[in-house]
């Protein structure tokens, strides 16, 4: 215990590049479909899931993996590589790992890699670039 | 790039989203990101932003959804690479645009705030429909 409250947070020093932080089975269910369509509206896509829904799923996995992230983090950049389309009712396998960390200009940069797959088929690969607060 | 109606276009139709507090709450539920900076006016008033701001990917998804609709599905291998430049206050009406640059496949994309400033900018390189390998190293 160092008394400055750091022990309650996930800190920059805690991350090891290459380490898987969290896995999640993500069901593309009607609840999520309803939430998505209330925000962005519905469209004539049939049962195909909007590509942005995968981005939301990516964030959910990242948020679950970093529950103890400190206040003041900055989501600085985002890379997305889209794969094959998926459909409502599908279950995706999600995984998030710490990909890279570096100190640049006094800032703590962390990059997280997130993948979403349906079986062996890639649906989305994401890279979340953050400036970590502690 | 051919859009959903089969036309070649230098621009795709602009997407617009009114970022209400209700939509922000729904996006928080969708992502499990209940950071009070997005949802709590009292908390946000004590931050440099002064007001709640929307989740970065809520704005980004307006671009993604705009392209998705225009192309009737984002082709596999499509790469979106953006920077978050300015926060979007909850309640702002934001506009997403995409303009073709350099080649048929490459678009400049951005999210614009009501005052014309950009909140998000970057590029979208449309994929070739080739299967994306299952290698997480990218």
Mean pLDDT for each consecutive 10-residue tract of chain A (134 residues)? 68 97 96 96 92 98 96 94 97 98 96 97 98 95
pLDDT at B10 over 80: no
Q: What is the pLDDT of residues A8-30, one digit of tens each?
A: 999 999 999 999 999 999 999 99
Is A1 at the interface with chain B, CB within 8 A?
Answer: no
pLDDT of residue A4: 56
Give which of B111, B125, B121 is closest to B83, Cα–Cα.
Answer: B121
Asked if residues B62 and B108 have their Cβ atoms less than 8 Å apart, the reply is no
- Which residues of chain B are within 8 Å of residue A79 when distances are taken between CB atoms? 79-81
CA dist., res. A116 & res. B97, Å (int)? 26
Answer whether A125 sits within 8 Å of B138, measured CB to CB.
yes
> Measured in whole angstroms, how far is the alpha carbon of residue A54 from the centre of its chain?
10
Q: Any chain B CB within 8 A of the CB of A6?
A: no
Average pLDDT over residues B4-17: 72
Subunit contact B79:A76, Cβ cutoff 8 A: no
* DSSP structural state of residue A4: S
pLDDT at B114 over 50: yes
Q: Is pLDDT larger for residue B24 or for residue B102?
A: B24
Amino acid B4: pLDDT: 59
- Provide the phi-psi class of A46: left if phi over 0, else alpha when psi is between -120 and 50, else beta: left
Phi, psi of B87 (to 5 degrees): -70, 150
- Kindly state whether A2 is in contact with chain B, defined as any CB-CB distance less than 8 angstroms: no
Is the Cβ pair A81, B78 closer than 8 Å? Answer: yes
Threshold 0.95, pTM exceeds: no
Task: For chain B, give the mean pLDDT.
Answer: 88
Say whether pLDDT at B77 is over 60: yes
The radius of gyration of chain A's CA atoms, rounded to the nearest angstrom, is 16
Question: At residue B3, does pLDDT exceed 90?
Answer: no
Predicted pLDDT at B128 = 73
Which pairs with CB-CB distance under 8 Å and at least 24 residues apart come from B41-45?
none
What phi and psi values does residue A13 have, to the nearest 5 degrees?
-65, -20
Average pLDDT on B104-133 reads: 86
DSSP label at residue A69: P
Q: Does A112 touch chain B (CB under 8 A)?
A: no
How would residue B137 be classed by pLDDT, with cut points 50, 70 and 90? very low
What is the average per-residue pLDDT within B87-112? 92
Residue identified by tokens 């004539």 is A44
Q: How many residues does chain B have?
A: 138
Q: What values do phi and psi take at A131, rounded to 5? A: -105, 115
ipTM score for this prediction: 0.93
Minimum CA–CA partner of A30 in chain B: B30
* The predicted structure's pLDDT at residue B12: 78
Contacts of A52 in chain B (CB under 8 A): 61-62, 64-65, 68
Report H helices in chain B: 21-31, 36-39, 41-45, 56-70
Q: What is the pLDDT of residue A131?
A: 97
Whether residue B30 and residue A56 make contact (CB cut-off 8 A), yes or no, is yes
* pLDDT reported for residue B92: 98
Chain A contacts of B75, Cβ < 8 Å?
Answer: 82
Q: Do A82 and B81 touch (CB under 8 A)?
A: no
Q: Select the residue from A27, A36, A79, A81 to test the B interface by mutation, using most B Cβ atoms within 10 A.
A: A81
Q: How confident is the model at residue B135 (pLDDT cuts 50, 70, 90)?
A: very low
Query: Is residue A84 a contact partner of residue B86, using CB atoms and an 8 Å limit?
Result: no
Which residue of B lies nearest to A58 if distances are taken between CA atoms? B31
pLDDT beyond 90 at B104: no
State whether B61 and A48 contact (CB < 8 Å): no
Q: Enter the tokens of residue A30.
A: 């009607």
């Amino acid at each position: 215990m160092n008394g400055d409250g750091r022990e309650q947070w996930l800190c920059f020093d805690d991350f090891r590049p290459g380490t898987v932080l969290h896995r999640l089975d993500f069901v593309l269910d009607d609840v999520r479909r309803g939430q998505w369509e209330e925000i962005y509206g519905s469209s004539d896509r049939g049962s195909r899931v909007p590509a942005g829904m995968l981005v939301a799923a990516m964030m959910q996995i990242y948020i679950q993996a970093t529950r103890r992230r400190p206040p003041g983090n900055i989501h600085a950049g985002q890379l997305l590589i889209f794969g094959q389309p998926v459909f409502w009712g599908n279950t995706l396998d999600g995984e998030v790992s710490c990909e890279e960390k570096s100190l640049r200009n006094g800032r703590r940069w962390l990059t997280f890699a997130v993948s979403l797959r349906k079986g062996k088929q890639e649906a989305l690969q994401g890279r979340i670039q953050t400036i970590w607060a502690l | 790039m051919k859009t959903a109606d089969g036309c070649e276009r230098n621009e795709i139709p602009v997407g617009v989203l009114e970022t209400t507090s209700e939509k922000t709450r729904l996006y928080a539920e969708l992502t499990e990101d209940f950071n009070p900076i997005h949802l709590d006016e009292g908390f946000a008033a004590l931050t440099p932003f002064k007001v709640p701001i929307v989740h970065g990917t809520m704005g980004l998804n307006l671009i993604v959804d705009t392209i998705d609709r225009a192309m009737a599905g984002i082709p596999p291998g499509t790469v979106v690479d953006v920077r978050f430049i300015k926060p979007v206050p909850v309640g702002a009406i934001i506009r997403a645009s995409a303009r073709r640059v350099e080649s048929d496949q490459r678009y400049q994309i951005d999210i614009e705030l009501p005052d014309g400033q950009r909140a998000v900018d970057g590029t979208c390189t449309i994929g070739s429909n080739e299967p994306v390998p299952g290698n997480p190293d990218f």
